[in-house]
């Protein structure tokens, strides 16, 4: 599935002002590609990921197409179905539900849609994969920040998404767990999962096929593998 983003702009309306945080962003992600999104804090990276998933509505004139299917003009219900089937989202702020265990949180996106025993098995395997095999029956408030982040990663993978959108997935992890997440993302990408990742992590930036850089909502550059970019060579 190819993703085409074109002329994507986003203006937030606040009580005091109109704040344009994205201006005319355009890029494509081919099947099996890994795209890295970089830029300083506040440059619009999270907003871009949310717009690509349809969870935030961009300005008129923006287009987000998966193959030939325009997401933005589709009814909300169809967008939700599309997200449930094809998109996994790793949130910067985890968004776990405190009233449920880590295992239930991981299963939750598909609970009404798939057999419980199948989901439980898949969720258990994912939690083990991110190193939370011994924390499955804890609730999020009993976890460290890094453990919550890994629980959020397992949940994002429960629907075996074609597109994995990752907002700073290693922001709270130590080196060992960061490397474990990088290995997992590489494995998923080798298996055909498209990765779109927002990151400040220099090691993470060396992976992937394509990078875009945002600055005050504008797209600065578009290039090949980040590892060749002298800006980030150390």
Ligand X SMILES: Nc1ncnc2c1ncn2[C@@H]1O[C@H](COP(=O)(O)OP(=O)(O)OP(=O)(O)O)[C@@H](O)[C@H]1O
Q: Which helix (H) or strand (E) holds 85?
A: helix 76-86
Comparing CA positions, the residue from 137, 170, 140 lying closest to residue 153 is 170
Instruction: Select from 9, 36, 43, 193 the one that contacts ligand X (CB under 6 A).
Output: 43
Instruction: Select from 9, 25, 35, 45 the one that contacts ligand X (CB under 6 A).
Output: 45
Is residue 135 at the binding interface for ligand X, with CB under 6 A as the rule?
A: no
Is residue 19 at the binding interface for ligand X, with CB under 6 A as the rule?
A: yes
Instruction: Select from 12, 69, 97, 113 the one that contacts ligand X (CB under 6 A).
Output: 12
Residue 187, class by beta-carbon neighbours within 10 Å (0-12 exposed, 13-18 middle, 19+ buried)?
exposed
Stretch that binds ligand X, among 42-50, 94-102, 124-132, 220-228 (CB under 6 A): 42-50
Instruction: Select from 21, 35, 158, 164 the one that contacts ligand X (CB under 6 A).
Output: 21
Task: Say what angle helices 116-129 and 145-156 make with each other, to 10 degrees.
Answer: 130
Smallest separation, CB 216 to ligand X (Å): 9
Is residue 150 at the binding interface for ligand X, with CB under 6 A as the rule?
A: no
Task: Tell me if 140 sits within 8 A of 98, measured CB to CB.
Answer: yes
Smallest separation, CB 168 to ligand X (Å): 7
Map the footprint of ligand X across residues 80-119, applying CB under 6 A. Answer: 92
Task: Tell me if 25 sits within 8 A of 43, measured CB to CB.
Answer: no
Is residue 62 at the binding interface for ligand X, with CB under 6 A as the rule?
A: no
Tell how far CA 125 is from the center of its chain: 20
Comparing CA positions, the residue from 193, 228, 191 lying closest to residue 207 is 228
Is residue 15 at the binding interface for ligand X, with CB under 6 A as the rule?
A: no
Is residue 46 at the binding interface for ligand X, with CB under 6 A as the rule?
A: yes
Residue 172, class by beta-carbon neighbours within 10 Å (0-12 exposed, 13-18 middle, 19+ buried)?
middle
Is residue 5 at the binding interface for ligand X, with CB under 6 A as the rule?
A: no
Binding site for ligand X (CB under 6 A): 12, 14, 19, 21, 39, 41-47, 92
């Amino acid at each position: 599935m190819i993703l085409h983003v074109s002329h994507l702009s986003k203006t937030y309306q606040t009580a005091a002002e109109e704040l344009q945080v994205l201006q005319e962003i355009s890029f494509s992600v081919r099947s099996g590609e890994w795209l890295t999104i970089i830029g300083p804090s506040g440059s619009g990276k999270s907003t871009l990921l949310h717009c690509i998933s349809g969870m935030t509505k961009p300005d008129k004139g923006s287009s987000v197409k998966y193959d030939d299917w325009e997401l933005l003009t589709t009814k909300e219900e169809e967008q939700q179905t599309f997200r449930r089937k094809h998109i996994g989202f790793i949130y910067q702020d985890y968004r776990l539900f405190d009233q449920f265990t880590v295992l239930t949180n991981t299963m939750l996106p598909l609970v009404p849609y798939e057999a419980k025993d199948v989901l439980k098995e898949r969720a258990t395997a994912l939690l083990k994969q991110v190193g939370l095999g011994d924390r499955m029956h804890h609730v999020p408030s009993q976890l460290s920040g890094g453990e919550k982040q890994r629980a959020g990663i397992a949940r994002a993978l429960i629907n075996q998404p074609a597109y994995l959108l990752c907002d700073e997935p290693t922001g709270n992890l130590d080196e060992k767990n960061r490397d474990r997440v990088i290995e997992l993302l590489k494995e998923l990408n080798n298996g055909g999962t498209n990765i779109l990742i927002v990151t400040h992590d220099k090691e993470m930036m060396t992976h992937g096929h394509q990078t875009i850089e945002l600055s005050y909502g504008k797209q600065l550059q578009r290039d090949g593998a980040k590892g060749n970019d002298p800006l980030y060579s150390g």
